[in-house]
Amino acid sequence: MQTQTYRQLDRDHHLHPFTDFKALAEEGSRIVTHAEGIYIHDSEGHRILDAMAGLWCVNLGYGREELVEAATAQLRELPYYNNFFKSTHPPAVKLAEALCRLAPPHMNRVFFTGSGSEANDTVLRMVRRYWALEGKSDKQWVIARDNAYHGSTVAGLSLGGMAPMHAQGGPTVPKIAHVRQPYWFGEGRDTSPDAFGRECAAALEAKILELGEENVAAFIAEPVQGAGGAIIPPQSYWPAVKEVLARYDILLVVDEVICGFGRLGEWFGSVHYGLEPDLMPIAKGLSSGYLPIGGVLVGDRIAETLIERGGEFFHGFTYSGHPACAAVALKNLELMQAEGIVERVRDDVGPYLAERWATLAGHPLVGEARSLGLIGALELVDPATGERFAKSLGAGTLCRDICFDHGLVMRSVGDTMIISPPLVITRAEIDELVRLAREALDETARRLA
Ligand code: PLP
């Protein structure tokens, strides 16, 4: 089929996620047809460096035959059976064991879901159930953060702090509060990063006191905010949050959907920041995005209560631990271990990206260049003032579109440009990424001048 035919059919029948339907109908979609390594190809013959790993998920890169083999072998053997009631199947059991071996030592159970959003729905139900079983059923409030992303289901969007999603969402799930995010460049530049990190932790404590400790069930946060703009918190933030949480009996939920599976140079972002979460929602990199699967890693404290006192947990999804998805995830974890992918991010390509990415800070359009492991961001500013551009100029969107034209997928969140490339990216490919980003910045600067 030709590009124009695809575009027409797409326009006529397909409502895309997170898309302005009318704008898409006017502009037409990009048809991605195949991919290998860190490159995608479109129907018009362009080869594009995918610095977003799809949607932060294709950690092992495209075209891994071993993952295709794992899926097909499992589909032949047992394409579907569920894990409901008292059944299971080998891939789900093996994956559960493998995951718990990689997770922090106090996490020895996993509940499978089909996605990160379903994982966060599961989190919400688990924390409230846990406290009810502990005889503290008033503990229902969950504190999350402004501009956090926890998914698109009603619970996911309620936990998330995305203002435009809340504006469209109608009534959200009750008893979820939001506190300020540790976004120094965006909200804290009148003070030092460390002072700002402590202020954000203090805001969490103030919210706990306002709601009453006896009413607060959990605090949920991403180690590094992804969709909010690759926001790496100031060094002081997580230690200060840990201190606050230690003063009160409140569960910690660390959303590892993006940071899990090597993105920050450890198996989990929680390990990088020395956190001991009670629950960790996971997805994306778990299967390198080859098949949809998510889950919640459950700490012993919660698991013991749910198991010993909970009776039946009336919760689950048809595709919880789907055999083919579980087989692919298992193979993905095996490959990551065999190839030392996580160590490579920590000791080699992560530091190399940091060094190369930092050179972009000297570009007139860049107010800040930050990265950690293989996640990074550039803050676009007006060279004349060093401050943000007027929103109406759409500098970020312009830069994103120019990136595409230059053969680079770099996403924009407002005027923040973000990257999260496949973890298998090489040093030479990082050089190419940074070169393409610089070219796109030059072109963006020319067009905005
Ligand atoms: N949590 C975080 C931190 C995410 O970034 C995402 C997706 O981007 C989700 C949850 C939702 O995952 P899914 O899109 O698989 O439902």
Q: Check whether 1 has a pLDDT greater than 80.
A: no
Q: How far is the CA of 284 from the centre of ligand 1 (A)?
A: 8
Predicted local distance difference test score (pLDDT) of residue 308: 98
The model's confidence at residue 209, banded by pLDDT at 50, 70 and 90, is very high
Ligand 1 atom with the shortest distance to the CA of 259: 3
Q: How far apart are CA 350 and CA 364, in angstroms?
A: 25
* Lowest-pLDDT range of 16-20, 168-172, 413-417: 168-172
Q: How far apart are CA 363 and CA 411, in angstroms?
A: 18
SS3 state of residue 218:
strand
Q: How far is the CA of 107 from the centre of ligand 1 (A)?
A: 21
Please give the mean pLDDT across all residues of the chain: 97
Q: Check whether 169 has a pLDDT greater than 90.
A: no
Average pLDDT over residues 377-402: 96
Q: pTM for the complete prediction? A: 0.98
* Residue 260 CB–ligand 1 contact under 6 Å: no
Average pLDDT over residues 49-73: 98
Alpha carbon distance, N-terminus to C-terminus of the chain: 41
Pairing between strand 416-419 and 375-380?
A: antiparallel
Report phi then psi at 373, rounded to 5: 55, -130
Query: What residue's CA is closest to ligand 1, atom 1?
Result: 150
Q: Which residues of 140-166 are buried (b: 16+ CB within 10 A; e: fewer)?
A: bbbbbbbbbbbbbbbbbbbbbbbeebe
Predicted local distance difference test score (pLDDT) of residue 170: 79
Predicted local distance difference test score (pLDDT) of residue 428: 98
Helix spans in 134-234 (H)? 154-159, 163-169, 184-187, 193-211
Average pLDDT over residues 304-317: 98
Reported ipTM: the value is 0.99
* Residue 256 CB–ligand 1 contact under 6 Å: no
Q: Check whether 295 has a pLDDT greater than 80.
A: yes
* Residue 149 CB–ligand 1 contact under 6 Å: yes
**Any bridge partners for residue 107, and if so which?**
299
* Residue 222 CB–ligand 1 contact under 6 Å: yes
The model's confidence at residue 126, banded by pLDDT at 50, 70 and 90, is very high
Q: How far is the CA of 133 from the centre of ligand 1 (A)?
A: 28
Geometric angle at alpha carbon 219, from 214 and 220, rounded to 5°: 155
Average pLDDT over residues 131-148: 98
Q: How far apart are CA 265 and CA 283, in angstroms?
A: 17
Q: Counting beta carbons within 10 angstroms of the beta carbon of residue 105, is it exposed (0 to 12), middle (13 to 18) or buried (19 or more)? A: exposed
* Residue 378 CB–ligand 1 contact under 6 Å: no
Q: How far apart are CA 159 and CA 154, in angstroms?
A: 9
Predicted local distance difference test score (pLDDT) of residue 43: 96
* Residue 53 CB–ligand 1 contact under 6 Å: no
In percent, the amount of the chain with pLDDT more than 90 equals 99
SS3 state of residue 170:
coil
- Whose CA is closest to 285, among 345, 210, 207, 368? 345
55 contact partners, CB below 8 Å, separation of at least 6? 284, 289
Q: Which helix (H) or strand (E) holds 25?
A: helix 21-27
Cβ atoms within 10 Å of 291's Cβ, excluding its own: 21
Average pLDDT over residues 66-93: 98
Residue pair 277/254 in contact (Cβ under 8 Å)? The answer is yes
Q: How far is the CA of 401 from the centre of ligand 1 (A)?
A: 24
Residue pair 420/230 in contact (Cβ under 8 Å)? The answer is yes
Predicted local distance difference test score (pLDDT) of residue 145: 98
Residue pair 321/112 in contact (Cβ under 8 Å)? The answer is yes
| Residue count (the chain) | 449
Pairing between strand 216-221 and 251-254?
A: parallel
Note the pLDDT tens digit of each residue in 215-248: 999 999 999 999 999 999 999 999 999 999 999 9
Q: How far is the CA of 257 from the centre of ligand 1 (A)?
A: 6
Cβ atoms within 10 Å of 168's Cβ, excluding its own: 8
Alpha carbon distances (Å) from 65 to 70, 117, 288, 327: 9, 28, 13, 14
